[in-house]
């Protein structure tokens, strides 16, 4: 009688399996946190000036050593990853959702990505990110044609005192800093190119399917995506834009599928946790395109509403016009922030619950608490994953819908209605 | 947090180039044909549905008109049958009348003929009777008057019989 498949048992088994995996990962996570934390504490411990001078000192020390070992290592001379430091969830999370120059699969396994740098006065440098040396998540360095390149592990200040962000590459030659323009194929750029290439392949073959079978019921991939294409057309574009919807359809479709696929890629586990649409560099481009398309297509009614809002008393116009002008930029900016924040937030929550395991596990000292938390966290993460699947679609929908509404505002002709 | 909030130059450049290239490629080679195909198919489906509706209506009209025609035909048939029956009745009546008239004529003619024949027969009979009477009288006279006695008897009887007194 009890032989039939029980979803509850299957769920329990999955929970145990995942919490086991999470505990295994704990060791790695702890090791990561160790390095990061030593950096973090160092920056926190000293006032700005002190941190500055110490950074200089560290840099000099690293140069003196003649080889490029991890800064934190050189400074603290840990040698081994001791289990004496506290795990800092914030640093751990930010590091994992920020863009990177390689794809971190698990443990020390990284997929290197091309680094393309334009260094002022030195020209373009092209090499793989595996050239950077240094283990864990500390600063990594690379010697190239007499130039020392430093890939910063965390936000802070560089050797020359300028502020740097996690993942930023700075260059120096004989202790004088060089200006670096980083055009690397980073994790987000790589993921984005992957998605865009997949989109070109998919939608070209779908278009081929329609050309080959005119007027027939769709099959396969065309059948899978036709409802979404029609959804964008009939639920987003037409109600928001109206007659001129056709003009904006290619952009709306491309944006919708790009965001949707990027969001979905970010949810694939064991793929390095892509956070493409949570990378502000990507969303700023999408928002800029929305801004340009809105304002380049703006008709006289659109501009009229901004610079001479009808139906309001003159004094109100003085308040309203600046607000309207500000909103020209604010609307796409909000699109950008909403998308980035939502997708990053999803990743942050999942990582936060992963971190809870390490925190409750007390850096491997309290396996029981860690396992208990692992069970709870895993259950919650499964819930979060389902929520994120919804969010992945929802954010693509919201971005596309609001873009369509802005296009509609810009092209709406009240004389027609 | 800086890494999350600062748009990296490289990312922006790559995203702009890649996204715009893909946008134009897809617009030209994917979205255009796909949307055109979808529109075309939707129009053809809508057209087919309209056509079907039209045909259905036509069928309905056709059925209605068939019904009408049937009704008319039935009425026509009834009318024709009634007319035929009336005509037949009339014919029968006419035939009867004609027959009666003919019969009456025949009867009248027969009656006339009979009457004429009767008259002729009566006339003939009269003359025959007269002749016979004369012959009888002649013979009687011849026989009776052959003797004197008989002549005297006869004259006496005649005198007796005659209303002289």
Q: Which of A281, A291, A341, A399 to mutate to test the interface with B (most CBs of B within 10 A)?
A: A281
Residue A88 within a domain: no
Domain boundary among A121, A152, A182: A182
Has residue B18 got a pLDDT over 90? yes
Say yes or no for a CB contact (<8 Å) between B7 and A206.
Answer: no
User: Are A190 and A271 in contact, with CB atoms under 8 Å apart?
Assistant: no
Lay out the sheet containing A176-178: strands in order across: A140-144, A147-151, A169-173, A176-178
Has residue A36 got a pLDDT over 90? no
Q: Which of A279, A286, A342, A345 to mutate to test the interface with B (most CBs of B within 10 A)?
A: A279
Q: Which residues does chain A have within 8 Å of residue B15's beta carbon, measured at their own beta carbons?
A: 189, 192, 281-282, 285-286
pLDDT range class, residue A77, cuts 50, 70, 90: very low
Give the phi and the psi of residue A305 in degrees, each rounded to 5. -65, -30
Q: Which residues does chain A have within 8 Å of residue B6's beta carbon, measured at their own beta carbons?
A: 165, 280
CA distances, A49 to each of A45, A52, A159, A165 (Å): 11, 5, 13, 18
pLDDT range class, residue A14, cuts 50, 70, 90: low
Has residue B155 got a pLDDT over 60? yes
What angle, rounded to 10 degrees, do the helices at A367-411 and A7-45 form? 90
Same domain, A229 and A274: yes
Say yes or no for a CB contact (<8 Å) between B11 and A168.
Answer: no
Domain boundary among A140, A161, A182: A182
pLDDT range class, residue A271, cuts 50, 70, 90: confident
* CB-closest option in A116, A214, A250 to B23: A250
Same domain, A290 and A166: no
Point out the least confidently predicted range of A92-106, A262-276, A300-314. Answer: A92-106
Q: Which residues does chain A have within 8 Å of residue B40's beta carbon, measured at their own beta carbons?
A: 214-215
Q: Which residue has the tokens 């704990």?
A: A26
Same domain, A167 and A205: no
Has residue A74 got a pLDDT over 70? no
Residue A45's pLDDT is 38
As a whole number of angstroms, the distance between CA B163 and CA B151 comes to 20
Residue A131's pLDDT is 84
Residue % of chain B over a pLDDT of 90? 53
Residue A411 within a domain: yes
Say yes or no for a CB contact (<8 Å) between B9 and A183.
Answer: yes
Say yes or no for a CB contact (<8 Å) between A249 and B7.
Answer: no
Residue A164 within a domain: yes
The reply to whether A268 touches chain B by the CB within 8 Å rule is no
Mean pLDDT of A293-304: 90
A137 is in which domain, residue-wise?
108-182
Distance from CA of B42 to the nearest CA of A (A): 8
Mean pLDDT of A333-353: 91
Has residue B140 got a pLDDT over 50? yes
CA distances, A217 to each of A113, A202, A211, A400, B150 (Å): 42, 18, 12, 27, 152
- Predicted ipTM > 0.85: no
Nearest to A112 by CA among A125, A104, A102, A122: A102
Q: Which residues does chain A have within 8 Å of residue B37's beta carbon, measured at their own beta carbons?
A: 207, 210-211, 214
* CB-closest option in A183, A184, A215 to B44: A215
Lay out the sheet containing A114-119: strands in order across: A123-128, A114-119, A180-182
Same domain, A168 and A263: no
Chain A segment 246-265 residues within 8 A of B by beta carbon are: 246, 249-251, 253-254, 258
A229-246 pLDDT, tens digit per residue, is 999 999 999 999 988 889
Token digits for A212? 């080959």
Residue B79's pLDDT is 94
Give A273 or B14, the one with higher predicted confidence. B14
Residue A11's pLDDT is 60
Same domain, A170 and A207: no
Mean pLDDT of A310-315: 86
Residue A274 within a domain: yes
Q: Which residues does chain A have within 8 Å of residue B46's beta carbon, measured at their own beta carbons?
A: none
Has residue B75 got a pLDDT over 50? yes
Has residue A29 got a pLDDT over 70? no
Mean pLDDT of A270-299: 91
Say yes or no for a CB contact (<8 Å) between A258 and B29.
Answer: no
Give A340 or A169, the one with higher predicted confidence. A340
Q: Provide CB contacts within 8 A for A150, sequence distance 6+.
A: A139, A140, A141, A158, A159, A169, A170, A171, A172
Same domain, A138 and A215: no
Residue A19's pLDDT is 54
Nearest residue of B to residue A232 by CA position?
B35
* CB-closest option in A164, A206, A226 to B30: A206
Give the phi and the psi of residue A141 in degrees, each rounded to 5. -130, 160
As a whole number of angstroms, the distance between CA A211 and CA A214 comes to 6
Most confident of the following: A97-106, A141-150, A193-202: A193-202
Point out the least confidently predicted range of A14-28, A108-122, A137-151, B47-61. Answer: A14-28
Mean pLDDT of A324-347: 93
Nearest residue of A to residue B31 by CA position?
A250
CB-neighbour burial class of residue A415 (10 A; exposed 0-12, middle 13-18, buried 19+): exposed
Q: Which residues does chain A have within 8 Å of residue B48's beta carbon, measured at their own beta carbons?
A: none
As a whole number of angstroms, the distance between CA A16 and CA A29 comes to 19
Same domain, A246 and A260: yes
Domain boundary among A163, A182, A201: A182
Mean pLDDT of A16-23: 52
Average pLDDT of chain A is 78
Point out the least confidently predicted range of A48-52, A130-134, A170-174, A218-222. Answer: A48-52
Mean pLDDT of A268-281: 86
Distance from CA of A94 to the nearest CA of B (A): 7
What SS3 state is found at A91? helix
Nearest residue of B to residue A254 by CA position?
B23
Has residue A23 got a pLDDT over 50? no
Residue A280 within a domain: yes
Token digits for B96? 């009867």
The total number of structural domains that make up chain A? 2
Same domain, A274 and A205: yes
Nearest to A389 by CA among A210, A277, A263: A263
Mean pLDDT of B22-48: 92
As a whole number of angstroms, the distance between CA B97 and CA B103 comes to 10
Token digits for A252? 């709306």
Give the phi and the psi of residue A46 in degrees, each rounded to 5. -110, 145
Has residue A25 got a pLDDT over 60? no
User: Are A272 and A103 in contact, with CB atoms under 8 Å apart?
Assistant: yes
Residue B62's pLDDT is 94
Residue A341 within a domain: yes
* CB-closest option in B15, B29, B34 to A281: B15
Q: Which residue has the tokens 């996204």?
A: B19
Mean pLDDT of A56-77: 38
Residue A73 within a domain: no
Full-prediction pTM beyond 0.95?
Answer: no
Give the phi and the psi of residue B79 in degrees, each rounded to 5. -60, -45
Say yes or no for a CB contact (<8 Å) between A155 and B34.
Answer: no
Q: Which of B28, B37, B40, B42 to mutate to test the interface with A (most CBs of A within 10 A)?
A: B37
Has residue A40 got a pLDDT over 50? no
User: Are A91 and A33 in contact, with CB atoms under 8 Å apart?
Assistant: yes
User: Are A385 and A351 in contact, with CB atoms under 8 Å apart?
Assistant: no
As a whole number of angstroms, the distance between CA A64 and CA A61 comes to 5
Same domain, A134 and A233: no
pLDDT range class, residue A403, cuts 50, 70, 90: very high
Residue B133's pLDDT is 80
Nearest residue of A to residue B7 by CA position?
A281
The reply to whether B16 touches chain A by the CB within 8 Å rule is yes
Token digits for B100? 């009666």
User: Are A72 and A54 in contact, with CB atoms under 8 Å apart?
Assistant: no
Distance from CA of B60 to the nearest CA of A (A): 29
Give B145 or A128, the one with higher predicted confidence. A128
Same domain, A178 and A191: no
Between chain A and chain B, the number of residue pairs with CB atoms below 8 A apart is 146
Q: Which residues does chain B have within 8 Å of residue A186's beta carbon, measured at their own beta carbons?
A: 8, 10-11
User: Are A128 and A117 in contact, with CB atoms under 8 Å apart?
Assistant: no
Dihedral sign computed on CA atoms, order B89, B93, B99, B103: positive
Chain A segment 217-236 residues within 8 A of B by beta carbon are: 226, 229-230, 233
Distance from CA of B35 to the nearest CA of A (A): 8
Give B146 or A195, the one with higher predicted confidence. A195
Same domain, A295 and A339: yes
As a whole number of angstroms, the distance between CA B109 and CA A4 comes to 119
Same domain, A6 and A114: no
What SS3 state is found at A151? strand
Nearest to A351 by CA among A388, A390, A307, A389: A388
Residue A37 within a domain: no
Residue % of chain A over a pLDDT of 70? 77
User: Are A165 and A157 in contact, with CB atoms under 8 Å apart?
Assistant: no
Has residue A1 got a pLDDT over 80? no
Average pLDDT of chain B is 88
Q: Which residues does chain B have within 8 Å of residue A288's beta carbon, measured at their own beta carbons?
A: 16
Q: Which residue has the tokens 């946790």?
A: A273
Residue B164's pLDDT is 61
Mean pLDDT of B125-135: 83
As a whole number of angstroms, the distance between CA A177 and CA A164 comes to 13
Has residue B77 got a pLDDT over 90? yes
Mean pLDDT of B62-71: 94
């Amino acid at each position: 009688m009890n032989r039939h498949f029980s979803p509850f048992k299957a769920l329990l088994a999955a929970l145990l399996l995942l919490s086991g995996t999470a505990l295994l990962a704990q060791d790695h996570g702890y090791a990561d946190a160790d390095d990061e934390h030593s950096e973090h504490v160092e920056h926190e411990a000293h006032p700005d000036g002190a941190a500055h001078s110490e950074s200089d000192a560290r840099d000099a020390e690293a140069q003196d050593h003649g080889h490029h070992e991890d800064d934190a290592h050189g400074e603290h001379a840990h040698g081994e990853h001791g289990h004496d430091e506290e795990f800092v969830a914030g640093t751990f999370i930010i590091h994992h959702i920020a863009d990177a120059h390689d794809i971190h699969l698990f443990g020390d396994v990284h997929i290197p990505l091309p680094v393309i740098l334009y260094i002022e006065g030195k020209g373009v440098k092209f090499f793989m990110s595996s050239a950077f040396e240094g283990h864990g998540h500390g600063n990594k360095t690379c010697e190239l044609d007499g130039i020392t390149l430093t890939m910063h592990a965390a936000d802070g200040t560089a050797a020359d005192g300028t502020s740097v962000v996690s993942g930023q590459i700075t260059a120096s030659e004989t202790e004088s800093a060089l200006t670096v323009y980083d055009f690397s194929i980073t994790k987000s750029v790589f993921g984005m190119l992957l998605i865009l290439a997949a989109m070109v392949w998919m939608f070209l073959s779908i278009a081929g399917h329609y050309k080959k079978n005119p007027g027939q019921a769709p099959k396969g991939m065309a059948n899978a995506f036709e409802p979404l294409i029609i959804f964008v057309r009939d639920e987003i574009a037409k109600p928001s834009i109206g007659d001129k919807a056709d003009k904006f359809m290619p952009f709306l479709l491309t944006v919708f599928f790009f965001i949707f696929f990027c969001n979905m890629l970010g949810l694939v586990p064991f793929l390095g946790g892509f956070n493409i649409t949570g990378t502000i560099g990507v969303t700023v481009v999408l928002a800029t395109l929305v801004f340009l398309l809105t304002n380049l297509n703006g008709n006289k009614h659109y501009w009229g509403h901004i610079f001479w809002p009808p139906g309001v008393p003159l004094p109100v116009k003085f308040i309203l016009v600046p607000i309207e002008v500000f909103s020209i930029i604010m609307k796409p900016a909000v699109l950008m922030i909403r998308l980035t924040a939502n997708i990053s937030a999803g990743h942050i929550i999942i990582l936060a619950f992963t971190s809870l395991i390490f925190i409750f596990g007390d850096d491997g000292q309290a396996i029981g608490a860690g396992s208990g938390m692992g069970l709870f966290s895993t259950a919650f993460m499964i819930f979060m994953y389902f929520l994120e699947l919804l969010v992945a679609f929802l954010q693509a929908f919201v971005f596309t819908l609001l873009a369509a509404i802005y296009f509609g505002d810009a092209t709406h002709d009240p004389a027609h209605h | 947090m800086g890494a999350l909030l600062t748009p990296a130059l490289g990312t922006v450049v790559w995203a702009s180039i890649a996204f715009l290239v893909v946008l134009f490629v897809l617009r030209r080679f994917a979205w255009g044909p796909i949307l055109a195909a979808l529109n075309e198919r939707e129009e053809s489906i809508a057209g087919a549905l309209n056509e079907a509706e039209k045909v259905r209506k036509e069928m309905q009209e056709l059925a209605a008109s068939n019904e009408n025609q049937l009704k008319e035909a039935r009425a026509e048939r009834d009318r024709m049958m009634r007319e035929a029956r009336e005509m037949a009745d009339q014919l029968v009546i006419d035939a009867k009348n004609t027959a009666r008239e003919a019969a009456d004529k025949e009867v009248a003619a027969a009656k006339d003929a009979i009457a004429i024949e009767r008259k002729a027969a009566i006339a003939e009979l009269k003359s025959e009777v007269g002749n016979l009477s004369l012959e009888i009288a002649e013979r009687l006279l011849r026989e009776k008057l052959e003797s004197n006695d008989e002549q005297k008897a006869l004259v006496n009887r005649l005198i007796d019989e005659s209303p002289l007194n």
